[in-house]
Amino acid sequence: MTIRVLLADDQALLRGTFRLLIDSVDDMEVVGEAANGREAVEKARALQPDIVLMDVRMPDGDGLAATQAICDDPDLAGTRVLILTMFETEEYVAHALRVGASGFLGKAVSTHDLLDGIRTIAAGEALLSPGATQALITRFLATPATETPLTPVESLGDLTPREQEITVLAAHGKSNDEIAEELSLSVLTVRTHIQRALTKLGARDRAQLVVIAYQTGLVQPAPPPKGRP
């Protein structure tokens, strides 16, 4: 199946570069371009892409506001947003995850990692780039959010013990292959448990599943290293 990508960036040269790269591989294609946040939302609704490759700083509605509008739209439940930006800051990562982004990459990412990131986001299994590390996720989630939690704590009771166990491992950044090896399960079984957990908790993808695991207390954030505030 071909992954359909919408490019959202205010720099035409970058959009052109990304289009050439993405269209050069057999399993994905660029279906449209947007130069600002408003256009990104409009074209996402019109084109129904699988992935929106979204810049953060854009005029007429920034990338994070556009991401929230896309992720909140029930008609775009099949569209996932991959943030691609020069600014891999804690503030942006935190905001991007809270509004529903499924991934976060820096523009210094390699060609291979960008294409691989698009593929894994499309499969619902990606979270953040190496630049936005698991430690950063943990630190962000350790800070109380003012937003309403994605799901009530009581929803954890809907998960089986195995689904909870696998959700915890996913929240620690482990891939399906790593979880399968650790628990002596098949990768297919792990995927099935992940999908059931997503459905029961109302999470749109793996990124939200991880956020829910921390928000509900299923996983406790690690304390910051000594010597840091």
pLDDT tens sequence for the chain (229 residues): 899 999 999 999 999 999 999 999 999 999 999 999 999 999 999 999 999 999 988 888 789 999 999 999 999 999 999 988 776 566 667 677 778 888 888 778 889 888 988 988 888 765 554 444 454 455 555 555 555 666 777 888 899 999 999 999 888 777 788 899 999 999 899 989 998 998 999 887 777 787 788 778 888 765 544 544 4
For residue 35, the model assigns a pLDDT of: 95
Q: How many domains does the chain have?
A: 2
pTM: 0.68
144 falls within a domain: no
The CATH number of whichever domain residue 19 belongs to comes to 3.40.50.2300
Q: Are residues 72 and 9 in the same domain?
A: yes
Q: Are 125 and 204 contained in the same domain?
A: no
In a domain, 41, yes or no: yes
Structure tokens at 19: 């289009």
Same domain, 127 and 169: no
Domain boundary among 63, 98, 132: 132
Strands (DSSP E) contained in the chain are 3-8, 28-34, 51-54, 80-85, 103-106
Residues 194 and 185 sit within 8 Å (Cβ to Cβ): no
The answer to whether position 118 is within a domain reads yes
pLDDT score recorded for residue 213: 84
Q: Do 111 and 160 share a domain, yes or no?
A: no
Residue 71 belongs to domain spanning: 3-132
Within 10 A of 130 (CB to CB), how many other CB atoms are there?
A: 10
**Whether residues 174 and 77 fall in one domain:** no
160 and 123 part of one domain? no
